[in-house]
């Protein structure tokens, strides 16, 4: 067999190869480089007999005036059981990195080492995945461990993934089905949008940022995402018709007042029920009037952004306005993203990362959709300039320790 290493694979050829591969992942699509335009990039690959048999989108980050690092998100994409191909690709990639003055290469292949239904958590990792770690080590590629925390690696190792089903809604937990029904009953209106919805979407994400004390992405970033993926990207917004609901409650309150006026004084149980009902309606009218004064006749209360690539979909970002928590809108925006994904020919819709121990509010929310937990094999480092790589790792360790105590 004769392999040929290519350091300028055409984006269209790369995308066609990755989209049809078992290790297909959005982060290896060529358009991901348009989103991550603060990094340089290149697409490298291997041909055998003129056919592409390995490919990788490489993001390049400068760490000094002279040196950089290579990062291959959810890649490289190739047959990892083909040791000759893996060895050839690794050796040629290292040569390329050396010419570009890279200290090391971070690889994060889309190889799963475990899959289990959320209610059947287990740590029985696939033997072939464990063997691969040993094989990669013989090639000078070092595994960075089976970390469980969301922020312990560049990409989370554990993901909650919903696979195509004939009756999607009925596969959800009782809690999720009840929440979706509640949102519908409370007149939450969920629709699909394109780039025109970016500003509204960014506004609900900002609410999530404030609530969780985190920084996500700005409006410009979401515009880049929508531009990069076009019709393969969608934003679902949940809106609440405040004026319509306010008018309904005003009518209910007026009817209640009339009934209470006609109710005999000795009908104590009925009067108590009507008085309790009146207090509830008055609260609703008061609260809705305040919301209308702040936000107008309609409010955007939640949103989710989803992108398709190949047979996979990624629900990349989602947020909600906590003032409307009781309307359960995020359940419906997630459900609609999943429906949209499957209508676009995807076999799975990934809701994103969760903690490895499945604890925390985010995991609890995603669990309600009855996902499969995909555990990825994790990150690997391939040192290029070994001494400088060791120095760089030490400096990064000291930096993390410094921030830990400040």
Model confidence pLDDT, tens digit, residues 288-333: 999 999 889 999 999 999 999 999 999 999 999 998 999 999 999 9
User: Would you state the pLDDT for residue 253?
Assistant: 92
Residue of 240, 231, 239 lying closest to 340 (CA atoms): 231
Please tell me whether residues 46 and 167 are part of one structural domain: no
- CA separation, residue 268 to residues 141, 260, 261, 265, 361 (Å): 79, 11, 13, 7, 43
Please tell me whether residues 123 and 230 are part of one structural domain: no
User: Band of the pLDDT at 268, cuts 50, 70, 90?
Assistant: confident
Range of the domain at 203: 160-241+298-374
pLDDT at 179 over 70: yes
What is the mean predicted confidence (pLDDT) over 19-40? 97
Tokens of 22: 């078992």
Residue of 356, 353, 374, 389 lying closest to 141 (CA atoms): 389
Is 72 a domain residue? yes
Please tell me whether residues 365 and 310 are part of one structural domain: yes
CB 36, CB 59: distance < 8 Å: yes
Distance CA(317)–CA(216), nearest Å, equals 9
pLDDT at 151 over 60: yes
Distance CA(339)–CA(86), nearest Å, equals 37
pLDDT at 213 over 90: no
Is 154 a domain residue? no
pLDDT at 404 over 60: no
Please tell me whether residues 237 and 247 are part of one structural domain: no
Is 228 a domain residue? yes
Please tell me whether residues 172 and 315 are part of one structural domain: yes
Is 276 a domain residue? yes
Residue of 134, 110, 104 lying closest to 55 (CA atoms): 110
Counting residues of the chain whose pLDDT is more than 90, the rounded percentage is 82
pLDDT in tens, 65-86: 999 999 999 999 999 999 999 9
Is 155 a domain residue? no
Looking at the DSSP bridge assignments, the partners of residue 355 are none
pLDDT at 390 over 80: no
- DSSP, collapsed to helix, strand or coil, labels residue 80 as coil
Distance CA(171)–CA(162), nearest Å, equals 10
Query: Looking at 295, 313, 336, which one is the last position of a domain?
Result: 295
User: Would you state the pLDDT for residue 28?
Assistant: 98
Domain containing residue 99: CATH number: 3.40.630.30
Query: Looking at 257, 280, 295, which one is the last position of a domain?
Result: 295
Please tell me whether residues 253 and 233 are part of one structural domain: no
What is the mean predicted confidence (pLDDT) over 240-269? 92
Residue 196, C-beta contacts closer than 8 angstroms, at least 6 positions apart: none
Is 342 a domain residue? yes
Please tell me whether residues 314 and 353 are part of one structural domain: yes
User: Would you state the pLDDT for residue 290?
Assistant: 92
pLDDT at 175 over 70: yes
Is 330 a domain residue? yes
Distance CA(378)–CA(393), nearest Å, equals 18
What is the mean predicted confidence (pLDDT) over 148-155? 90
Is 199 a domain residue? yes
User: Would you state the pLDDT for residue 310?
Assistant: 97
What is the mean predicted confidence (pLDDT) over 244-248? 94
At residue 116's C-alpha, the angle toward residues 310 and 361, to 5°, is: 90
User: Would you state the pLDDT for residue 267?
Assistant: 87
pLDDT in tens, 331-359: 999 999 999 999 999 999 999 999 988 88
Number of domains the chain contains: 3
Backbone φ, ψ for residue 10 (5° rounding):
-65, 135
Distance CA(219)–CA(282), nearest Å, equals 38
Burial class of 361 by CB neighbour count within 10 A (0 to 12, 13 to 18, 19+): exposed
Please tell me whether residues 166 and 250 are part of one structural domain: no
Please tell me whether residues 252 and 237 are part of one structural domain: no
Please tell me whether residues 48 and 90 are part of one structural domain: yes
pLDDT in tens, 96-150: 999 999 999 999 999 999 999 988 877 789 999 999 999 999 999 999 999 999 8
Range from 25-29, 63-67, 388-392 that averages highest in pLDDT: 25-29
What is the mean predicted confidence (pLDDT) over 141-167? 94
At residue 177's C-alpha, the angle toward residues 175 and 183, to 5°, is: 100
Element (H, E) at 180: helix 174-185
> What phi-psi label fits residue 91: left (phi over 0), alpha (psi between -120 and 50 degrees) or beta?
alpha
Please tell me whether residues 251 and 206 are part of one structural domain: no
Please tell me whether residues 288 and 197 are part of one structural domain: no
Tokens of 135: 């094989």
CB 24, CB 18: distance < 8 Å: yes
User: Would you state the pLDDT for residue 400?
Assistant: 52
User: Would you state the pLDDT for residue 392?
Assistant: 67
């Amino acid at each position: 067999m004769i392999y040929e290493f290519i350091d300028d694979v055409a984006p269209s050829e790369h995308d066609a190869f990755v989209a049809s591969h078992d290790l297909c992942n959005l982060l290896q699509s060529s358009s991901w480089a348009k989103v991550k335009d603060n990094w340089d990039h290149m697409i490298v690959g291997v041909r055998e007999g003129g056919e592409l048999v390995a490919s990788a989108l490489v993001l390049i980050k400068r760490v000094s005036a002279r040196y950089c690092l290579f990062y291959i998100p959810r890649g490289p994409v190739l047959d990892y059981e083909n040791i000759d191909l893996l060895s050839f690709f690794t050796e040629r990639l290292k040569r390329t990195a050396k010419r570009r003055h890279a200290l090391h290469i971070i690889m994060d292949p889309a190889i799963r080492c475990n899959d289990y239904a959320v209610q059947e958590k287990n740590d029985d990792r696939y033997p072939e995945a464990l063997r691969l770690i040993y094989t990669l080590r013989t090639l000078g590629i070092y595994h960075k461990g089976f970390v469980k925390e969301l922020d312990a690696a560049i990409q989370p190792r554990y993901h909650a993934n919903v696979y195509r089903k004939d009756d999607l809604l009925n596969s959800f937990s009782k809690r999720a089905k009840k929440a979706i029904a509640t949102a519908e009953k409370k007149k939450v209106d969920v629709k699909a949008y394109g780039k025109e919805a970016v500003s509204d979407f960014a506004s609900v994400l900002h609410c999530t940022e404030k609530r969780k004390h985190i920084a996500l992405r700005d409006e410009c970033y979401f515009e880049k995402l929508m531009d990069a993926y076009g019709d393969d990207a969608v934003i679902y917004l949940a809106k609440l018709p405040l004026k319509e609901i306010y008018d309904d409650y005003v009518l209910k309150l007026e009817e209640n007042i009339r009934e209470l006026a006609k109710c005999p004084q000795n009908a104590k149980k009925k009067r108590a029920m009507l008085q309790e009902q009146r207090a509830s309606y008055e609260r609703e009218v008061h609260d809705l009037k305040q919301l209308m004064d702040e936000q107008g006749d309609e409010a955007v209360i939640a949103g989710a952004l989803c992108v398709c690539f190949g047979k996979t979909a990624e629900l990349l970002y989602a947020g909600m306005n906590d003032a409307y928590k009781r309307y359960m809108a995020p359940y419906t925006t997630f459900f609609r993203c999943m429906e949209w994904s499957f209508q676009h020919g995807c076999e799975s819709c990934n809701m994103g990362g969760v903690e490895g121990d499945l604890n925390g509010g985010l995991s609890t929310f995603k669990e309600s959709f009855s996902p499969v937990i995909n555990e990825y094999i994790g990150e690997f480092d391939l040192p290029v300039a070994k001494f400088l790589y060791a120095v760089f790792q030490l400096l990064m360790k000291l930096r993390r320790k410094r921030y830990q105590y400040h």
